[in-house]
Amino acid sequence: MRLVTSPAEIQERALEYRARGLTVGLVPTMGWFHEGHLSLMRLAAKKADRVIVSLFVNPIQFGPNEDLDSYPYDLERDRRLAEETGVDILFAPEKQVMYPDGFSSSVTVSGLSSRLCGSSRPGHFDGVTTVVAKLFHLTVPHLAVFGEKDFQQLAVIRKMVDDLDFPVEILGHPIVREESGLAMSSRNTYLKSSEMPAALSLSEGIREAVKCVNGPGAESIDARQVKDLVRAIITAHRECEIDYVEVVDRSSLENCTEITENSLLVLAVKINNRIRLIDNSILKGS
Ligand code: PAF
């Protein structure tokens, strides 16, 4: 596996793959790899001839009081994990080469970006779409793989690709969970063991909601009842502060009142005002 830090070099190498008739799969990440990332890399390797993984803690997607400075980072550890997973190139640029002095462009997907996570993290998705657009230009991938845990990010990126005609196929990968049910996330590393029961209330809420809408009497259950049930499970932990608990349409992210095959339960919860966790699940039939 090759480590590349220069934008010019990654573009040259990616174009060279294409010139040789090879397909390129990109997995954009911010590092601190866990099984969730590794499964995105494996999917990319199954679908494309060459896999490029980007590792860049993108400063412009963090708000002023967020965890940019404490975001976990260990290039050597991630380099080893990517290599063991069969990645061809790990692209790990410095901030200064991605955003040199005078950088002044931004990609905005309006509408979709402003609700849910976008309303509590203003500007977050502009940071994501701007860096992903840059990564698409730098790595010219045929396909790119994103985790479904960040369901809104995936929807926003699909919309950007559609609106701006990027010739990239976007693949979502299902959430990978710990045995406990906790959705894997680099931010789980911030959790103290005393905070684990609170963190697990998200997946517990999802489990109970899925049970409820697929069980006896399910026809009469509406979105309001599902949200009340999940809120009660989460707020039983004093460490939890709910950012949102919503039932939305999986593609438009508009709120649903009725539960259908397309209804997605989406959650964002702050633990002890320090750690923001998100999770989601399709409700019917999952
Ligand atoms: O999901 C992430 O890790 C980031 O938001 C991404 C897509 C790599 C953009 O920085």
Do the Cβ atoms of 121 and 146 come closer than 8 Å?
A: no
Query: Rounded to the nearest whole angstrom, what is the distance from the C-alpha of residue 43 to the centroid of ligand 1?
Result: 17
Q: How far is CA 135 from CA 14, 144, 163, in A?
A: 11, 10, 17
Span 38-62, pLDDT tens digits: 999 999 999 999 999 999 999 999 9
Atom of ligand 1 nearest to the CA of 186: 3
Q: Cα(256)–Cα(264) distance, rounded to whole angstroms?
A: 9
Do the Cβ atoms of 264 and 285 come closer than 8 Å?
A: no
Pocket of ligand 1 (CB under 6 A): 28-30, 58, 61, 128, 131-132, 150, 153
Tell me which CATH code domain 2-173 carries. Answer: 3.40.50.620
Burial classification of residue 21, based on how many CB atoms lie within 10 Å of its CB (0-12 exposed, 13-18 middle, 19 or more buried):
exposed
Query: Closest by alpha carbon to 107, among 82, 77, 76, 128?
Result: 128
Q: What is the mean pLDDT of residues 172-182?
A: 98
pTM over 0.95: yes
Phi and psi at 116, nearest 5°, equal 45, -120
Question: Is 142 a residue of the active site?
Answer: no
CATH superfamily name and code, 186-282: Pantoate-beta-alanine ligase, C-terminal domain (3.30.1300.10)
Question: What percent of the chain clears pLDDT 90, i.e. is strictly above it?
Answer: 96
Indicate the domain borders of the chain.
Answer: 2-173, 186-282
Q: Cα(54)–Cα(45) distance, rounded to whole angstroms?
A: 14
Span 131-161, pLDDT tens digits: 999 999 999 999 999 999 999 999 999 999 9
Work out whether strand 24-29 and strand 143-147 pair parallel, antiparallel, or are unpaired.
parallel
Tokens of 74: 């260990």
Query: Rounded to the nearest whole angstrom, what is the distance from the C-alpha of residue 213 to the centroid of ligand 1?
Result: 32
- Taking CA atoms only, the protein residue closest to ligand 1 atom 9 is 128
